[in-house]
């Protein structure tokens, strides 16, 4: 049984387009709020948290709704197509509202865009396990993560190329290009992927082998006390490192202009380095985890991010070392991101994987709701220099809670399984 890489990459186009949009949202919307509408950092942080507030309720709802949907084009595809179409239509009113100084139009367009994006993220993510046999889903998930990182990198490249060093840039070309990318990605996905056919094939494949381990695991609902303790502490760790990482990604465009003196879209080049470092790190950190375990790999990633955030806090203007530290942030985040979700679901009984996935997103989304507001208040009332120390403190907290996790780790693979994971000798 081998993973169909071409098909997985095409399925990943949905996540590719989603991440391209969110990179645009995180990079440009804070600048519009600050520079055009003169919104304070605390209120701006609240606005930037709206997507996570919506996601906290809408992602589980539309994921479950798509589970019960049945159409000629599949159960996930209608949401992917409809959500993308609505998002593309609404998002291009954002730069129009910016250019015409129409705050009401901007807010309405932003709300519709965020609602549209929330309707199809869960169905888009669920499409991969729908059409991928169970033993291959971890490998497929790495491909999906890579596609998402490439989508973000695409947006950073066009920002760095198209945002001029002027007081009031016109962001319309950026939104048009990203919306065009979203349309093309979903059209290619729809034309090539026959969801109903692939789902039927996958169900037949899974049906040939009873999942004995999964069936045996469903013996009760209560977790043992020590496993429950590990679950609580890894969920706290997830909350803390999202508090750190999301604060930096949300505010970096403003921080770069205000503290580092980077003009125009130059900040995107620095973020692109972090994204590129994450992309090239996904596969290596997976291999490292297979040798030393997930927990140790995550702790290494936390350490890399803490050192980078702590060091970056000392810079008052741009220096090439900042780019190096951002690269370390990207690699550290890859080490955390690749291994944390598998640790959570590893503690789940066979029938509870979906519920534990919900736990993961509840804690990560809660952090992404809170941290733009909290860090924004510090930026506004204390100073922009608080950003990186703020992130460093939360990484220390994540390290401490992660140290107490005793379950969910992976056992080192024997040599023959490592070769199989790399598809050597096939």
pLDDT over 80 at 405, yes or no: yes
Which residues span the domain enclosing 271? Answer: 224-411
Same domain, 358 and 398: yes
Same domain, 406 and 333: yes
Same domain, 171 and 44: yes
Among 55, 371, 376, residue whose Cα is nearest residue 244? 371
Same domain, 181 and 295: no
pLDDT over 50 at 332, yes or no: yes
Non-local (6+) Cβ contacts of 408 within 8 A are 230, 231, 234, 294, 295, 342, 343, 344, 346, 347
425 inside domain: no
Same domain, 230 and 379: yes
pLDDT over 80 at 4, yes or no: yes
Q: Helix 225-258 crosses helix 387-403 at what angle (to 10 degrees)?
A: 170
323 inside domain: yes
Same domain, 234 and 189: no
Same domain, 305 and 381: yes
| Domain C-terminal end among 153, 171, 204 | 204
User: How high is the pLDDT of residue 135?
Assistant: 57
Same domain, 237 and 175: no
405 inside domain: yes
Entry pTM: 0.70
What percentage of the chain exceeds 70 in pLDDT?
87
Most confident of 83-97, 118-132, 313-327: 83-97
425 vs 287, higher pLDDT: 287
Same domain, 272 and 155: no
| Domain C-terminal end among 204, 233, 259 | 204
The enclosing domain of 102 has a CATH number of 1.20.1250.20
User: How high is the pLDDT of residue 202?
Assistant: 76
Same domain, 273 and 309: yes
| Domain C-terminal end among 174, 204, 234 | 204
State the pLDDT confidence band at 102, using cuts at 50, 70 and 90: very high
4 inside domain: yes
Number of domains in the chain: 2
Q: Mind listing the pLDDT tens digit for each residue in 165-223?
A: 777 899 999 999 999 999 999 999 999 999 999 888 877 765 544 343 343 344 445 77
Same domain, 148 and 241: no
248 inside domain: yes
107 inside domain: yes
Same domain, 187 and 246: no
211 inside domain: no
pLDDT over 50 at 353, yes or no: no
Q: Mind listing the pLDDT tens digit for each residue in 140-151?
A: 777 888 898 889
Mean pLDDT of 50-68: 80
252 inside domain: yes
- Please give the structure tokens belonging to residue 292: 């030393």
């Amino acid at each position: 049984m081998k993973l169909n890489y071409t098909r997985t990459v095409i399925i990943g186009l949905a996540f590719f387009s989603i991440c391209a949009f969110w990179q645009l949202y995180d990079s440009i919307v804070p600048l519009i709020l600050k520079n055009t509408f003169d919104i304070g950092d605390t209120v701006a942080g609240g606005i930037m948290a709206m997507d996570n507030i919506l996601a906290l309720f809408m992602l589980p709802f539309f994921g479950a709704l798509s589970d019960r949907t049945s159409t000629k084009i599949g159960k996930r595809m209608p949401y992917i197509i409809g959500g993308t179409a609505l998002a593309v239509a609404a998002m291009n009113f954002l730069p129009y509202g910016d250019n015409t100084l129409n705050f009401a139009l901007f807010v309405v367009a932003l709300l519709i865009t965020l609602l549209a994006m929330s309707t199809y993220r869960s169905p888009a993510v669920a499409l991969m396990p729908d059409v991928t046999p169970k033993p291959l889903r971890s490998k497929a998930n790495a491909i999906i993560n890579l596609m998402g990182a490439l989508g973000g990198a695409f947006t950073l490249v066009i920002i760095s190329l198209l945002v001029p060093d002027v007081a009031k840039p016109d962001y319309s070309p950026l939104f048009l290009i990203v919306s065009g990318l979203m349309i093309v990605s979903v059209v290619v996905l729809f034309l090539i992927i026959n969801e109903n056919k692939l789902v039927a094939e996958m169900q037949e494949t899974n049906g040939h082998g009873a999942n004995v381990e999964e069936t045996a695991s469903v013996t009760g609902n209560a977790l043992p006390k020590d496993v429950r303790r590990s679950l609580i502490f890894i969920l706290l760790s997830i909350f803390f490192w999202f508090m750190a990482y999301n604060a930096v990604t949300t505010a970096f465009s403003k921080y770069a202009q205000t503290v580092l003196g980077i003009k125009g879209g130059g900040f995107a080049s620095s973020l692109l380095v972090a994204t590129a470092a994450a992309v090239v790190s996904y596969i290596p950190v997976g291999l490292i985890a297979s040798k030393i375990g997930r927990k140790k790999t995550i702790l290494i990633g936390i350490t890399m991010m803490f050192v980078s955030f702590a060091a970056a806090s000392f810079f008052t203007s741009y220096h090439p070392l900042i780019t190096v530290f951002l690269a370390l942030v990207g690699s550290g985040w890859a080490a955390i991101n690749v291994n944390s979700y598998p640790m959570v679901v590893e503690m789940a009984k066979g029938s509870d994987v979906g519920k534990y996935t919900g736990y993961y997103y509840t804690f990560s989304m809660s952090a992404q709701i809170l941290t733009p507001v909290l860090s924004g208040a510090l930026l506004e009332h204390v100073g922009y220099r608080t950003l990186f120390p703020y992130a460093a403190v939360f990484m220390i907290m994540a390290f401490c809670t992660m140290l107490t996790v005793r379950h969910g780790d992976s056992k080192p693979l024997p040599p023959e399984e490592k070769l199989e994971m790399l598809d050597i000798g096939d």
